């Protein structure tokens, strides 16, 4: 235990001395802030609405005076347009009633501004508009981006721990472990604890920035089932790279898989998604999606743990002995 505590103290010093590690910790939170700003910017733009092709010309002219109009076709095309990423409400003429479609995640302030603009455009001879919410939560693209960011800390934590191992290899500190009572097991455990701590701090920061703090318990639960992923990333970085250049190359591969695989899943038909089943990142992403929807899927969590545990076991058999060797 004393060996592990001493290693933890050393790791904390190494992290703050390594600019690359600091940048890797900060970048996901910066990305979260940028994405949040982009999502909120829709509320600050001029009001733009999609209009079905059955709206009378006189009504369309009045709407066009107060808003920017985009023609969307029939009601099905209109609903599809409303559910796209850019949060544009839609209007549809149903007899004497102007129906207004919202996606549901625009926020009360934006919805009220749209209502006010349309109210100003409608004449007194028209009946009040009817507001219809077309979705109970965030749009698919937004939810996917947030879920991807929330899966990144599993890789971030492992990468930071792996960079500490690489630093010791470059400074030849690892050679001293061969003549000390330090075992590979204790060596790895100390690095793993640091990786998990860094990942959880990163995860909490991202959740708060994205406004998902209320769902943090479910998000943390999804991350707990993915703890072997931290160890897998740590083993890949620390066991394969001999120097920072090799480490950076492996980091690119790891982050590419962690960030791009969920995006690939989104554009892959359901009948072909079985190709992703061997990847723990896929199951962690699905688990995180369920957490964001307010109903954490224990099934996805268990599968995440099993698959990530399997890939970690395979990587430890392959690279475990290289952790303290050049």
* Residues 189-234: tens digit of each pLDDT: 888 888 899 899 999 998 888 877 888 899 999 999 999 999 898 8
pLDDT mean over 308-324: 83
Task: Give the model confidence (pLDDT) of 236-254 as tens digits.
Answer: 887 787 777 877 888 888 8
Residues 154 and 255 in one domain: yes
Give CA torsion, residues 265, 267, 270, 273, to 10 deg. Answer: -30
Mean pLDDT of 117-132: 57
81 lies in the same domain as 200: no
pLDDT at 307: 95
If asked whether residues 33 and 158 sit together in one domain, one would say yes
For the chain, what is the domain count?
2
In this structure, the answer to whether residues 168 and 311 fall within a common structural domain is yes
> In terms of residues, how long is the chain?
326
Residue 29 in this model has a pLDDT that exceeds 50: yes
239 and 281 co-located in one domain: yes
Boundary of a domain, candidates 92, 110, 133: 133
Q: What percent of the chain has pLDDT over 90?
A: 13
Q: What pLDDT shows up at residue 97?
A: 76
Q: Tell me how far apart the alpha carbons of residues 166 and 97 are, in angstroms, rounded to a whole number.
A: 67
* Domain limit, last residue, from 109, 133, 157: 133
CB 89 within 8 A of CB 130: no
Range of the structural domain that residue 71 is part of: 42-133
Q: Are residues 168 and 288 in the same domain?
A: yes
Residues 36, 212 contacting (CB under 8 angstroms): no
> Which helix (H) or strand (E) is 268 found in, with range?
none
Whether 226 and 149 map to the same domain: the answer is yes
Mean local confidence (pLDDT), 111-136: 59
> What count of Cα atoms within 13 Å lies in the side-chain half-sphere of residue 96?
6
Residue 234: the pLDDT is 86
Q: What is the pLDDT of residue 323?
A: 67
What's this model's pTM, rounded to 2 decimal places? Answer: 0.65
What pLDDT shows up at residue 176?
60
Q: 178 and 96: one domain?
A: no
Average pLDDT over residues 269-288: 88
Report the SS3 class of residue 274.
helix
- What pLDDT is recorded for position 13? 65
Q: φ and ψ at 128, to 5 degrees?
A: -60, 150
Report pLDDT for 309.
94
How far apart are alpha carbons 160 and 224 in whole angstroms?
Answer: 18
Confidence band, pLDDT 50/70/90 cuts, at residue 78: confident
Give the residue from 77, 101, 133 where a domain finishes: 133
Q: How confident is the model at residue 185 (pLDDT cuts 50, 70, 90)?
A: confident
Residues 219 and 304 in one domain: yes
Q: Provide the pLDDT for residue 287.
A: 92
Q: Which two tokens stand for residue 204?
A: 């909490």
pLDDT-derived band at 23 (thresholds 50, 70, 90) equals: confident
Provide the mean pLDDT of the chain.
77
Same domain, 223 and 123: no
């Amino acid at each position: 235990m004393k060996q592990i505590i001493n290693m933890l103290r050393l790791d904390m010093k190494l992290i703050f001395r390594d600019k690359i590690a600091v940048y890797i910790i900060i970048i996901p939170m910066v990305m979260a802030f940028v994405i949040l700003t982009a999502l909120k910017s829709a509320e600050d733009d001029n009001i733009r609405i999609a209009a079905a092709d059955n709206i009378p010309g006189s009504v369309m002219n009045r709407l066009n005076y107060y808003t920017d109009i985009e023609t969307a076709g029939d009601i099905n095309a209109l609903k599809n347009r409303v559910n796209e990423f850019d949060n544009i409400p839609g209007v549809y003429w149903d007899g004497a009633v102007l129906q207004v479609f919202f996606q549901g995640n625009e926020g009360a302030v934006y919805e009220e501004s749209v209502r006010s603009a349309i109210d100003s455009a409608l004449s007194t001879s028209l009946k009040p508009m009817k507001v219809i919410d077309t979705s109970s939560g965030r749009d698919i693209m937004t939810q996917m981006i947030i879920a991807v960011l929330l899966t990144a800390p599993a890789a971030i934590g492992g990468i930071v721990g792996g960079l500490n191992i690489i630093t010791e290899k470059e400074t030849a500190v690892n050679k001293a472990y061969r003549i000390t009572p330090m075992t590979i097991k204790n060596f790895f455990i100390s690095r793993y604890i640091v990786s998990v701590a860094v990942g959880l701090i990163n995860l909490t920061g991202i959740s708060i920035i994205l406004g998902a703090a209320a769902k943090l318990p479910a998000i943390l639960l999804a991350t707990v089932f993915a703890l072997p992923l931290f160890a897998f990333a740590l083993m890949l970085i620390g066991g394969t790279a001999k120097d920072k250049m090799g480490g950076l190359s492996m980091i690119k591969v790891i982050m590419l898989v962690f960030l791009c695989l969920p995006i690939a899943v989104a554009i892959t038909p359901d009948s072909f998604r079985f190709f992703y089943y061997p990847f723990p990142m896929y199951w962690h992403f699905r688990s995180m999606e369920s957490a964001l929807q307010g109903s954490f899927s224990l099934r996805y969590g268990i599968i995440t743990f099993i698959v990530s545990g399997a890939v970690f076991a395979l990587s430890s058999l392959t690279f475990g002995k290289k952790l303290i060797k050049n």
